[in-house]
Structure 1
């Protein structure tokens, strides 16, 4: 296996463990009533980071051609933009 293109098993394990940790952190924030602008921003940032790790590392696109990275990361950014717009629009009501 080409570790330059796909990373190492040790890196994948650490990323996987950090994804589990981030999931538990966001779950804990949600179940313990974290609210407010900073909590929402933290949840959004953590979930965006998780999406980027999955796209770039677990889908093995970190060293893929720019077009593939742009399509997948662009899709995630578009989805987050729609979520942010809906959230901000909901605040105004």
Structure 2
């Protein structure tokens, strides 16, 4: 059985999902937890876009469009969280 890149990406996605589940089950909160969850979500999204959607080898425009969308969504979530704190 050959172990390739998609297998490694899948394991990373599983580990990141498990980490977010543990944080949720423990009721963790605060700015650091929010930043960690946002970072994990961004990493997971990037891995899905590049590897499972097979955009790693395509033109920069397509990768930039989808990664840019991830950055926009993560930024808006972070802004909404910061404003909810009275920032």
Tell me the TM-score normalised to structure 2 length. 0.89
Partner of 1:22: 16
Moved over 4 A (4+): none
For residues 27-80 of structure 1, the C-alpha deviation after alignment (integer angstroms, 9 at most, x for no partner) is: 111110112222111111111100110011111111110110111011111111
Tell me the TM-score normalised to structure 1 length. 0.84
Worse overlay, 8-17 or 50-59: 8-17
Partner of 1:42: 36
Q: Please report the RMSD computed on the Cα atoms of aligned residues, expressed in angstroms.
A: 1.7
Cα distance in 2 for partners of 1:12, 1:18 equals: 10
Q: List runs of 5+ in structure 1 lacking aligned partners.
A: 1-7
Q: List runs of 5+ in structure 2 lacking aligned partners.
A: none
